[in-house]
Copies of this chain bind each other. A is one copy, B any other.
């Protein structure tokens, strides 16, 4: 039996297990995480996983050696009914949690009034910043900030995705086109995460299965392997169906409907607003907004976008919440300890 110390955090609408990257060095961290989560079982009944896309997440966190960056983290989407881990994507909700975690664990020192934790997601190279009020240099353990899709309060965290375009493939539009036909019209962008944004007004209310089929097509067109269930983020985006929304958004996540919207998907949607002729640009009537209210199944997710004079997206900011749920020593049932030898 191997023992692994972990911190269980809620970030936005997700639960994430955070680990000191050093504790998983010298072996295959995916194997250890899959065993710790009970990933082989669709109910993850023999481990710490929650058996849904938003509760089967982990990250390995360490102090960064890079200038201007406080923390490096590697995100893991842990399998559900498959003893494996996907390393191809980032997770904004986990990043929210990591900001607070870095302060709670002393990885970085709090400032007098407000502390910004500068993070690098090593899966994608994305830079992020988490801003947390630390009045008197005290790190809050709890708070009353809520986000759509999670009714309980948490510590308010302002999460920023910095210069998010081309985070995985290097370019905002991997196909070079604002609109692709799958044949359903879709905009394929890479910002925050690779995403396939399908025209909800043209396609109608597609089923999850239809969206999953389109996801596979989009992966091929975007030059992704298609082996990673987490990307491209895929869903329907269209004109608002409620006066309080700017866009109608219905995403799938790990082959199931997302209860709200993944934050990397929110970034991709925001970036696509700046692409003339894209699904998002058209749904917004050509407007490139500074504030974007996404209508999700859980309610409105509000995004603040910062564009430079050349129309490039410099930052996407979201008001999120995080809370530490538990600190734990996990018993990891590894069949062969030899798997841990480097």
Contacts and interface: CB of A to CB of B under 8 A. Distances in A.
A50 B51 contact: yes
Given A40-B152, A327-B328, A328-B328, A45 B14 contact: yes
Contacts of A13: 45
Contact of A152 (B15, B45, B55, B326): B45
A78 to B, nearest CB: 14
Contacts of A46: 10, 150-152, 154, 323, 325
A333 B323 contact: yes
Contact of A8 (B48, B52, B324): B48
A262 to B, nearest CB: 14
A38 interface: yes
* 8 A-B pairs closest in CB distance: A46-B152, A328-B328, A326-B328, A326-B330, A1-B141, A327-B329, A10-B46, A45-B150
A241 B46 CA distance: 30
B8 A152 contact: no
Chain A interface residue number, banded: 35 or more
Interface in A31-86: 38, 40-41, 43, 45-48, 50-52, 54-55
Contact of A45 (B6, B54, B331): B54
A55 B48 CA distance: 11
A38 B152 contact: yes
Interface string A174-207: 0000000000000000000000000000000000
Given A46-B150, A46-B151, A325-B331, 14 more contacts: A10-B45, A10-B46, A15-B45, A38-B152, A41-B151, A41-B152, A43-B55, A45-B150, A46-B323, A50-B55, A153-B333, A324-B331, A325-B330, A328-B329
